[in-house]
Amino acid sequence: MTHALCALVAICHREFLRFLGQKGRLVSALVRPLVWLLVFAAGFRAALGLSITPPYQTYIPYETYIVPGLVGMVVLFNGMQTSLSLVADREVGTMRLLLSAPLPRWWLLLCKLTAGALIGTLQAYAFLMIAALFGIGFAPLAYLAALPAILAAALMLGALGLALSSTIHQMENFAGVMNFVIFPMFFLSTALYPLWKMAESAQILHALCAANPFSHAIETIRFALYLQANAGAGAVVLVSFVVFFALALWGYDPARGLIRRKS
């Protein structure tokens, strides 16, 4: 147990040092959602005519409504950024050294995942604080209530990035992941529009948004920020995390996974 905890602390410390050395990563993580919040939100609200009441039983300004979706954007891009760092680590041999440590492979991967999720959670709260400075905030207790939801979303999306990193063997291929995973997952979700609004547009879009685990991660965060619980969405997030992490374990298993087959 002591060695396992030492490994967790050491991996988290290394990832935080790497993050602090990449100042542009934090800036890009905050600028992207702020542009959506401050520039596009007003136009979207005017164009869509949104008057959001269910399930919150109160009027919610559109700028406030999309904040949880933009928090999801922060942790989504952080999860993909973590997967990119894993590909870089594998190219230079750092990942091989890590996985050869005398500890269970699942624990080592979980340590990497936990470190990335903690960094993503910190970025999400940095965005929430900046949004509050612009007058788009929530009740003080809501920020504490949202912590488990944000952390769960970060773990789920980090597990997805971890699973994807086992299939990417060159950093140049990461652009394909950006185009075919990140953007469809974000736009086919409830990050920018309520699910009932998607049903008014097209039933197939409604079905895709409802099946998207990212939508459930956002709804878990959204309900938590309004001091409500969404057990169904939370369950989907946890199940998705287990599935994605299992795929990551399979992908990084040298006996059966994708690494051996592609080598």
Q: Count Cα atoms within 13 angstroms, Cβ side, for 76.
A: 24
Helix (H) or strand (E) holding 125: helix 105-133
User: Per-residue pLDDT for the chain (263 aa), expressed as one digit of tens each?
Assistant: 677 888 788 888 888 888 877 766 667 777 778 777 777 666 565 544 455 544 444 566 777 788 888 999 899 988 888 877 777 777 777 777 777 777 888 888 888 899 989 999 999 998 999 888 888 888 899 999 999 999 999 999 999 988 888 777 666 666 666 677 888 888 888 888 777 777 777 788 888 889 999 999 999 999 999 888 899 999 999 999 999 999 988 888 766 544 444 44
Largest CA distance in the chain: 58
- Please calculate the CA angle 206-208-209 and round it to the nearest 5 degrees: 65
Question: Domains of the chain: which residue ranges?
Answer: 2-262
Q: Mapping DSSP to helix (H, G, I), strand (E, B) and coil, where does residue 230 land?
A: coil
Q: pTM of the full predicted structure?
A: 0.85
